[in-house]
Amino acid sequence: MTGRFLPGGPTRAAPTEGSQLPRRMRVEPTPRPLRIAIVYSRSPLPMRRADQMTVANLISFLAARGHTVDLYALRTGGQITESHQSWLRDHCSQVRLFRHGRFRMALGMLQAVCTGRPLQVGIFRNGRQRQAVDRAARDGDYDIVYTYYLRSAEATRSIRQKRDGVSRRRPATFLAMQLSQSLNTRRILENASNVWTRTLYWYESRRVRQYETTVWRDFDRSVLIGQQDLDTINEECRRAGLPELDNVVFGAHGTDLDQFAVATADEVVPNRIVFSGVMRTPTNVQAVLWFAQKVWPTVRRAVPQAEFMIVGREPTGEVRALHGKDGITVTGTVPDPAVLIRSATVCINPMQAGGGMQNKLLEYLACAKPVVATTVANEGIGAPADCVAVTDDPAEFAQQTIRLLEDRAAQVRLGTAARSFVEEHWSWEGHFLRLERDFILALEELCGDEAAEDTLPPRRSRPGRSVA
């Protein structure tokens, strides 16, 4: 559905959806260049999802620091434009995209059912990708192999067991689990509204619990976003009588402080409430339905002129049905969600399920918006009370929303604190510098090298060929 696009006054020029490229990172060259393989379940461009945005920005960071990056990703459909290909060639030494169509996905899902693996692992399992990465790692091509998301673990989990005892050491391996899928699938199941969704997530939640508690042992480091994700996985390990994770490093996402900039006065539309996200994602659907059914009627009674905008591509039928009712607009695809976020008087994040962290919340805060959110929404970010109003009670959620719609001083106070919080804690550069440091520490440990602390990068691209 392509609905109305209501930017609400003069705006910055907006690119078309998916055309944005990661900006060049503001970092100095590293004193210790690494050879890094990134293994991923889809092309990072176009950046249509939060995970694509994270991987694309990681590549941008690593290239800016002077590391050599090879990308091993699946081509699952969708158009990659010439500008996307050019950007990847400029930032990666080698780009290998492996065809992975619907037949392979269906076969992988069937194999997952037969072997007891999570469906998401089966769907994205690709033998050619695994063989290519394994061969290069065995040949000593890399210092680091970085696997993004649990679903790609099968491509790299055997590397740690394979050693060439003669002359070549193996790379240090990282599994970026990011969020606990045990936590994520359980919450989706608890909030599922139909039999099909409940059945699917009942099956998947059982499988990811078993998989998550063991797969981490096949990697040198497991990357998680926050403590809640670690606590959940360790709880499942204890229940199963298995060792708890002892190789965790924390690696959150950042946000683009240039794209998600502070709104000018003429961009803001009075009494506009905005939710932004991909609207086919179950957690986002559950969030907006909860707000529309349990919170929005109270807000509209108190502020009859209020409007609620649901911003994001691919809305489901349940979400599309809200369009045009009681001041609700479902936009569908828009050129740049940041424009509509800046147009909001108040932004909301009423997530009921999910895990890890919420990029949309960071984007709201970066735009200096007053925000009302649930505990789940703020779990991975931990924004303080002077930045965001947090509540899980529908009546209180409504009252906080009404208060912020009507109180200009509170809008300014929360918005100013929100932008400062993101600038200090949530830049891409800050998080990736910490991840880079973890790369080097893992490599030093693997090599048995008692290198001095000053060999590590401070806490603060190579052009190449593309191989399809």
Distance from C-alpha of 238 to C-alpha of 215, rounded to nearest angstrom: 15
Q: Are residues 87 and 103 in the same domain?
A: yes
Mean pLDDT of 184-209: 88
Mean pLDDT of 404-414: 96
The proportion of the chain whose per-residue pLDDT surpasses 90, expressed as a percent, equals 71
pLDDT at residue 145 greater than cutoff 90: yes
Q: Are residues 405 and 434 in the same domain?
A: no
pLDDT given at position 14: 40
pLDDT at residue 1 greater than cutoff 60: no
Residue 13 in any domain: the answer is: no
pLDDT given at position 378: 92
Q: Are residues 421 and 447 in the same domain?
A: no
Residue 133 in any domain: the answer is: yes
Distance from C-alpha of 103 to C-alpha of 100, rounded to nearest angstrom: 8
Locus of tokens 């440091």: 437
Q: Are residues 415 and 439 in the same domain?
A: no
Residue 199 in any domain: the answer is: yes
pLDDT given at position 464: 41
Q: Are residues 238 and 342 in the same domain?
A: no
pTM: 0.81
Distance from C-alpha of 410 to C-alpha of 370, rounded to nearest angstrom: 8
Q: Are residues 372 and 431 in the same domain?
A: no
Residue 28 in any domain: the answer is: no
Q: Are residues 63 and 134 in the same domain?
A: yes
Q: Are residues 132 and 89 in the same domain?
A: yes
Residue by residue, DSSP assigns 290-318 as HHHHHTHHHHHHH-TT-EEEEE-SS--HH
Residue 296's pLDDT band (cuts 50, 70, 90): very high
Mean pLDDT of 245-273: 91
Measured in degrees and rounded to the nearest 5, phi and psi for residue 213 equal: -80, -10
Beta strands in 100-245 (DSSP E): 144-148, 172-178, 221-224
Q: Both tokens of residue 366?
A: 């970066």
Contact indicator for 325, 319 with CB cutoff of 8 Å:
no
Q: Are residues 180 and 58 in the same domain?
A: yes
Give the bridge partners for 74, in sequence order: 98
Q: Are residues 307 and 243 in the same domain?
A: no
Contact indicator for 96, 70 with CB cutoff of 8 Å:
yes
How many domains are contained in the chain?
Answer: 2
* Domain at 296, CATH number: 3.40.50.2000
Residue 163's pLDDT band (cuts 50, 70, 90): low
Q: Which of 9, 436, 16 lies closest to 249, judged by CA?
A: 436
Structural domain harbouring 80: 35-254+427-467
Mean pLDDT of 272-300: 95
**Surface-to-core class of residue 35, CB atoms within 10 Å of its CB (0-12 exposed, 13-18 middle, 19+ buried):** middle
Q: Both tokens of residue 347?
A: 């932004």
pLDDT given at position 125: 96
Residue 201 in any domain: the answer is: yes
Residue 30 in any domain: the answer is: no
Residue 160's pLDDT band (cuts 50, 70, 90): confident
Contact indicator for 251, 434 with CB cutoff of 8 Å:
yes
Residue 284 in any domain: the answer is: yes
pLDDT given at position 343: 96
Residue 460's pLDDT band (cuts 50, 70, 90): very low
Residue 197 in any domain: the answer is: yes
Q: Are residues 419 and 436 in the same domain?
A: no
Q: Are residues 241 and 339 in the same domain?
A: no
